Amino acid sequence: MAGKSRDEGTRSAVLVALGANLLIAAAKTVAGLFAGSPALLSEAAHSVADSLNEVFLLTSLRRSHRRPDRRHPFGYGKERYFWSLLAAVGIFVLGGCFSFYQGVHALGDHGGESHEGYIAGLVVLLVALLAEGGSLLRAAVQARRSEEGSDDPALRTVLAEDATAVIGVLLAATGILVHMATGDATAEAAASMAIGVLLMIVATGLARTAHRQLIGLAADPGLRDEIEELLARQPEVDTVEELLTMRLGLDSTLVAARIDLVGGMDSERVEEVSMRIRRTVRDRWPTADRVFLDITDARTERAERAERAGARREAG
């Protein structure tokens, strides 16, 4: 239930951002073409990229809740990370590269500007600033309410997009004002290139985070330590030889532990203890829903590890 409530809040934040970006993209495009402003056209490309990315994020929210099946026994939780990676690529290419190109192109093309168009463009940017600021506030409130706010790739992407949009609008407005005051289009071209660089930096950060999560990111160190402490406290557990974790999604974590039990237990008792430990972990941390225990002989395993390490040293 908590996951569904969180996702409804995230979906609302994405929909608000999508609606704002669609309207703003249309207004910026019309004003940019009318004014012949590279900064406005860069901001229009930015809003178009954000709109497409929000469609990706809505897709991730829907697809990540599909039930596990034979081909995907651990579920589809990582769909969020895949679509967030696509969104980052969209920001980089559609927003960043196009904005930078517009700035470079404007350095050698100073004709076709319209003073009246620039006035209209500034009005559009003011409206965009209010809309993007409202969307950013909505996403920030949702992030504070959600326990997984900073880890939710969809919500994190919306926050990054809206924060970048606010900065981009301010850069574009500054470039236009300097251009109107001095008659030199260089400042506006520089603003357009700065918007492009900003988008590329933000996209790279989002892509790196999504990449780490896609290839297998361990659970929070604090959670891992708590699970290891719980295992070690069990009266039947002699030692915890190894504990591995991996996030399978926002609501699913894989826990694999290799433990050595105290001696003197028959196979039926070992099975009872194993089931009880797995149930205890899942009850304590509901997101740790994939718990696997490997019962091992610590002395034998340590000897084998030492032997393998020695063999590697000799081979090296």
The pLDDT value recorded for residue 109 is 65
Nearest-angstrom CA–CA distance, 272 and 107: 74
The pLDDT value recorded for residue 316 is 62
| Neighbouring residues of 206: CB distance < 8 A, sequence distance ≥ 6 | 84, 87, 88, 91, 156, 157, 160
Domains, the chain, ranges and CATH? 2-215 (1.20.1510.10), 221-315 (3.30.70.1350)
Contact in structure between 6 and 95 (CB atoms under 8 Å): no
| Neighbouring residues of 208: CB distance < 8 A, sequence distance ≥ 6 | none
Nearest-angstrom CA–CA distance, 173 and 150: 30
The pLDDT value recorded for residue 158 is 80
Contact in structure between 191 and 91 (CB atoms under 8 Å): no
The pLDDT value recorded for residue 115 is 67
Contact in structure between 152 and 6 (CB atoms under 8 Å): yes
CA pseudo-torsion sign 67, 9, 206, 227 = negative
The pLDDT value recorded for residue 290 is 92
Nearest-angstrom CA–CA distance, 273 and 294: 12
Low pLDDT (below 50) residues in the chain: 1-2
